[in-house]
Amino acid sequence: MRFKPALEERRKAGLYRSRKVIQSPQAVEVDLDGRKLLNFCSNDYLGLANHPEVVAAFQEGAARYGVGSGSAHLVCGHSDAHHELEEALAKFTGRDRALLFSTGYMANMGVISALVGRNGEVFEDRLNHASLIDGGLLSRAKFSRYRHADMAQLEALLQKSDREEKLLVTDGVFSMDGDIAPLPEMVSLCEQFGAQLLVDDAHGFGVLGEQGGGCASHFNLTQKKLPMLVGTLGKSFGTFGAFVAGSEELIEYLIQQSRSYIYTTALPPAVAEATLTSLKILQADDWRRERLKKLIGRFRLGARRLGIELMASETPIQPILVGDSAKASAMSERLLKRGIWVGAIRPPTVPKGAARLRVTLSAEHSDDQLDRLLDGLAGAMHG
Ligand X SMILES: *Cc1c(COP(=O)(O)O)cnc(C)c1O
Q: Is 103 in the site for ligand X (CB under 6 A)?
A: yes
Active site residue 42: no
Taking CB under 6 A as the binding criterion, the range among 29-37, 101-109, 189-197, 342-350 that sits at the site for ligand X is: 101-109
DSSP annotation string for 276-318: HHHHHHHHH-HHHHHHHHHHHHHHHHHHHHTT----S--SSEE
Active site residue 83: no
Residue 169, SS3? strand
Q: Which helix (H) or strand (E) holds 167?
A: strand 166-171
Shortest Cβ contact with ligand X: which residue? 104
Q: Is 105 in the site for ligand X (CB under 6 A)?
A: yes
CA distance 199 to 231: 9
| Distance of closest approach, residue 174 Cβ to ligand X, in angstroms | 8
DSSP annotation string for 112-164: HHHH--TTSEEEEETT--HHHHHHHHHTTSEEEEESTT-HHHHHHHHHH---S
Which of the residues 236 through 265 are near ligand X (CB under 6 A)? Answer: 242
CA distance 174 to 356: 14
Q: Pick from 61, 104, 110, 120: which binds ligand X (CB under 6 A)?
A: 104
Q: Is 358 in the site for ligand X (CB under 6 A)?
A: no
Q: Pick from 39, 69, 113, 131: which binds ligand X (CB under 6 A)?
A: 131
Residue 98, SS3? strand
Max Cα-Cα span within the chain: 60
**Pick 189 or 230: Cβ nearer ligand X:** 230
Total binding residues toward ligand X, as defined by CB under 6 A: 14
Closest CA to 160 of 184, 195, 115, 114: 195
DSSP annotation string for 50-62: T-HHHHHHHHHHH
Which of the residues 136 through 195 are near ligand X (CB under 6 A)? Answer: 171, 175
- Of the candidates 235, 236, 258, 362, the residue annotated as catalytic is 235
**Pick 234 or 379: Cβ nearer ligand X:** 234
Taking CB under 6 A as the binding criterion, the range among 78-86, 103-111, 278-286, 335-343 that sits at the site for ligand X is: 103-111
| Distance of closest approach, residue 166 Cβ to ligand X, in angstroms | 21
Taking CB under 6 A as the binding criterion, the range among 70-78, 100-108, 280-288, 308-316 that sits at the site for ligand X is: 100-108
| Distance of closest approach, residue 152 Cβ to ligand X, in angstroms | 24
**Pick 198 or 308: Cβ nearer ligand X:** 198
CA distance 330 to 226: 42
**Pick 343 or 376: Cβ nearer ligand X:** 343
Active site residue 235: yes
Taking CB under 6 A as the binding criterion, the range among 5-13, 199-207, 218-226, 280-288 that sits at the site for ligand X is: 199-207
Q: Pick from 202, 215, 216, 377: which binds ligand X (CB under 6 A)?
A: 202
Strands (E), 190-297: 196-200, 228-232, 242-246
Q: Is 234 in the site for ligand X (CB under 6 A)?
A: yes
Q: How many residues does the chain have?
A: 383
- 65 neighbors 79 (Cβ within 8 angstroms): yes
Q: Is 203 in the site for ligand X (CB under 6 A)?
A: yes
| Distance of closest approach, residue 82 Cβ to ligand X, in angstroms | 16
Q: Is 232 in the site for ligand X (CB under 6 A)?
A: yes
Q: Pick from 121, 124, 125, 200: which binds ligand X (CB under 6 A)?
A: 200
Let me know if 284 is exposed, middle or buried by CB neighbors in 10 A (0-12, 13-18, 19+): exposed
DSSP state of 38: E
Q: Quickly count: other Cβ atoms within 10 Å of residue 248's Cβ.
A: 11
- Of the candidates 113, 131, 161, 175, the residue annotated as catalytic is 175
Q: Which helix (H) or strand (E) holds 101?
A: strand 97-101
Positions annotated as catalytic residues are 175, 203, 235
Give residues in contact with ligand X (CB under 6 A): 103-105, 108, 129, 131, 171, 175, 200, 202-203, 232, 234, 242
